[in-house]
A and B are shown apart, each in its own frame.
Chain A
Amino acid sequence: MILSVRDFAIGFQREGQNLVAVDGISFDVEAGETFVIIGESGSGKSLTGMSIAGLQPPTAFVSGSIRFKDREMLNRPDAELRKLRGPEIGLIYQDPLSSLNPVWPVGDQIAETLTAHGLADRAEANKRAVEMLERVRIPDPRRVASAYPHEISGGMRQRAMIAMALAANPSLLIADEPTTALDVTIKAQILELLADLKRELALTIILITHDMGVVAEVADRILVLYAGRIAEIGPADSIMLQPSHPYTAALMTSAMISQTPAKQELNAIVGGAPGLGAFPAGCRFHPRCPRAQDDCNTVEPPRRKFGAVELACHHPIEVAMSLQVARS
C-alpha cells in the first residue's frame, strides 16, 4: 500500500463560517494500480488529489490523515513536502498550455525538475530532459526541448508535462483531468502512453476525471465522490458493470446514453450537484435520487462493505444486495 487516506476533510472559512468542502474520505491506494477518482464538477476531486501532494489551497483547513509511503502528509512543513514533489510524487494537470511557463523552453522546464532538487547538474539535466521527451514518444525530442510551449501542439504539450512530472522518477503520478482539454484521438494516445509508462516505470497513478470513457480505459479501482463525500469505492469492473449506488448507476447510464464521447460527462443527470455550503441533510444525493425514501432525507447513510465494494446508501441496487447474500 503506497497511500492511505483516513477521515480526510478539507474546508474553507467564508464570512466567518467554516464550510466543509470534503469530509469523511478514507481509501487506500495499492502500489502499481491506477486509482481513478470520479465525480461531478465541484465534488472535491481536485481538493482531495492535490492534498495528497500537500498542494491544497493555502486558505484551506484540513483534518484527518494522508499517509504516503508511511509519511504523514497533512500539516507537514512545506519545505519537507517540496522534497517529495518531483522525486516522489509527480503531478500533471488539465490545461497543458497554461500549465507550462510560456517564456521558458520546454526542455529547460523538464530539466528544472532535476536541477532544483540537486539531482543533476545543468548539462546532465538537459540530456535527461531530451531522454524524457523521447520516453514520452515525442518524435523529435531535441527540437521540442528547445521549443517554447506555444510552438508545439496540445498533445505534445501534455506529453512534455508528463515528461516533466516523471523526470525525477517519482513512484506516484497524480493526474488531474489530464485529457479533458484534448481531442479524442490525442486523448486516446495520452491514455495509452500513461498505461505504457505505468508499466515501464512501475508507477502508481491517481487519475482524476469526469470522463467515463477515460475511466473505462484505465481504471483498476474507482472512487466515486458526490458533494464532498464518498458514494462508492471498489474495483473498476464492479463499479462500471454492476453499480450498486444509485448515483454511480446514474453516471453509468448517462455515459451510455450520450453517444458522442464529448458528452460522456457526469452532469447529464437530472438536476445539479449541490454547491459548497448548500449540502442537503441526510444523504446528499436524495433530492436527485430515484430510489430515495424517507430515511434518506434525514439519516446520513453509513459506509458499508459489500464484498470488494464499499458504499454509502440506505437502499443500494439489488445486484449488490444479491452479491452480499451470496458472499455471506
Chain B
Amino acid sequence: MIAFLFKRLVWGLLVLIAVAVITFFLSRVVPADPAAFLAGQNASEETVQRIRAEHGLDRPLPEQFASYMIGLAKGDLGQSIRTRRSVSTDLKQYLPATLELLTFSFVLYLAISFSLAVLAARHPGGTVDGTIRLITMIGTGIPVFWLGMTLQFFFFYKLHWLPLGARFPIRETVPPVVSGFLLIDSLLAGSLSAFLASLKHLTLPAATIVVNLLAVGTRLSRAALIQEQSRLYVRTARGKGLSPNRILFKHILRNALSPILTATTMQFGYMISWVILVEVIFDWPGIGLYAYQSFQVFDYSPVIALAIVSTAGFVIINLVMDLLYPVIDPRVQSVGS
C-alpha cells in the first residue's frame, strides 16, 4: 500500500515537472515582450530594459529556465509582472474561489447525471431514456460561452433572478474567511443572506459547466447501470424475492460505482478546463480569470502556475479515486497492496 502510494506520488511529480517544462518553453516561444507591454507605448528603451532586467527577462533562455525550475523546487512560482506580487500570494487569494466553483459544480454534476442515469436505465430505449438523451445531447452541443451568455441574458437581463457575474454582491460584507468557501464561511458566520447570495452567484457558472458535461456523464453512468442489470447476481436477487428498487439501490448501484468512478475521474479533467473559460464569462475571481488576465499582458508566470496547479488537481483526484476503488470493490484490494 505504502509502495503503491509512493509510486503514484513519484509519477504525479514527474507529470508536474513535465507540464512545468512544456508550459515554460511554450510561453517563451510566443513572440511577445511582456516588458514592453507593461512599460506602455511611449516608454523609453531604458525603461523597457530596466523592467526586463528586473524580471530577469534579459538573461539567456537556459538561465531563465534553470532559475525558474530552482524556484519551483522551493515552491516559488515566480513573480507576476501585472500584479507585482508573487504568484503564490495571488494563488492564495484566487484559488478558493475556483475550488468552490469546481466542487459545487462537481457535486451538482454527480447528483444530476446519476439521477438521470437511474431514470434512463429503468427502461433502456424507452421514452424517458430517449428524452434524457436528447436533452443532455443538446446541452453538450451548445458552445460553453454561448450557453453562459444565454443564461446571463435570461436570468439576469430578462428575469432579474440571478446576478450577472462575480462571486459575491459588492455592497454586502463578505463573511470572515475560514475555509475560503463562501457557502461554508457564510454559514459559519451565521448569515443566511450571505449564504443565499453566494449560492445565487454560483448558480449560473455551475449550471454552465454541468449542462456541458451532462450528456457524457449521464451516458457513462447509464451504460454502467445497464451492464450491471444483466449480471447474474441480479437474477439471484430477483430469485430472493427482492423488489426492483431494492435490487437497484442495494445491489446494482453499489456494483456500478467503480465504472462510474472511472468515468467521473475523466470528466473531472474536462471540468477543470471548462472552469477557466466559465470564470472568464462570469467574471469569477478564481485562478482561471487570474491566468486569463495575466495572459492578455503576456505575464507568463501565472499562466504556468495555472497549468501546474490544475495538473496537480487532476493528479490528486486520480490518486484519491485509486484509493477509493478498494473501498468500493473488495476484489481490487490486492492491486494496491
Among residues 78 to 102 in chain A, which have CB atoms less than 8 Å away from a CB atom of chain B? 79, 81-87, 90-91, 93, 95, 98-102
Name B residues whose Cβ lies closer than 8 Å to a Cβ of A. Answer: 231-233, 235-243, 246, 250-251, 254-255, 328-331
Q: B233 contacts A82, CB within 8 Å?
A: no
CB < 8 Å: which of B235, B242, B331 contacts A55? B235
Given A87-B241, A116-B242, 17 additional A-B pairs, CB 8 A: A79-B243, A82-B241, A83-B241, A85-B240, A86-B240, A98-B233, A99-B232, A101-B237, A102-B233, A102-B255, A103-B330, A103-B331, A104-B254, A116-B240, A116-B246, A148-B331, A161-B236
Tell whether, in the assembled complex, residue A85 and residue B241 are in contact, meaning their CB atoms are under 8 Å apart: yes
- Distance, CA A97 to CA B171, complexed state (A): 64
Contacts of A102 in B (CB 8 A): 233, 255, 329-331
Q: Can you list 19 pairs linking A and B with CB atoms under 8 Å apart?
A: A55-B235, A79-B243, A86-B240, A90-B239, A99-B232, A99-B233, A101-B255, A103-B331, A104-B251, A104-B254, A112-B242, A113-B241, A116-B240, A116-B241, A116-B242, A117-B241, A150-B331, A164-B236, A164-B240
Given contacts A102-B233, A103-B328, A148-B330, contact A85 B239 (CB under 8 A): yes
Binary B-proximity of A110-140 (CB < 8 A = 1, otherwise 0): 0011001100000000000000000000000
A101–B329 CA distance with the chains assembled, in angstroms: 11
Residues of B within 8 A of A81 (CB): 241
In whole angstroms, what is the CA distance A116 to B328 when docked? Answer: 23
A9 within 8 A of B: no
Cα–Cα distance between A101 and B248 once the two chains are bound (Å): 12
B329–A103 CB distance below 8 A:
yes
From B238, B241, B243, B251, contact of A101 by CB (8 A) = B251
Contacts of B238 in A (CB 8 A): 55, 85
Chain B, interface SS category: helix
**Residues of chain B lying within 8 A (CB to CB) of residue A53:** 239
Binding site for B on A (CB under 8 A): 53, 55, 79, 81-87, 90-91, 93, 95, 98-104, 112-113, 116-117, 148, 150, 161, 164-165
Q: What A residues does B235 contact at CB under 8 A?
A: 55, 93, 99
Question: B residues within 8 A CB of A83?
Answer: 241
Residues of A within 8 A of B246 (CB): 116
Q: How far is the CA of A117 from the CA of B239 in the complex (A)?
A: 12
CA distance A245 to B313 in the complex (A): 72
The 9 closest A-B pairs by CB, nearest first: A85-B241, A91-B239, A86-B241, A98-B232, A82-B241, A101-B233, A148-B330, A99-B232, A99-B236
CB neighbours of A84 from chain B (8 A): 241
A274 to chain B, nearest CB (A): 27
Distance (Å) between the CB of A92 and the closest chain B CB? 8
In the complex, chain B residues whose CB is within 8 Å of the CB of A117:
241
Q: Tell me the smallest distance from the CB of B242 to a CB of chain A, in Å.
A: 5
Asked whether A82 lies within 8 Å of B243 as measured between CB atoms, the reply is: yes
Residue of B nearest to A150 (CB): B331
State the Cβ distance, B88 to closest chain A Cβ, in Å.
Answer: 43
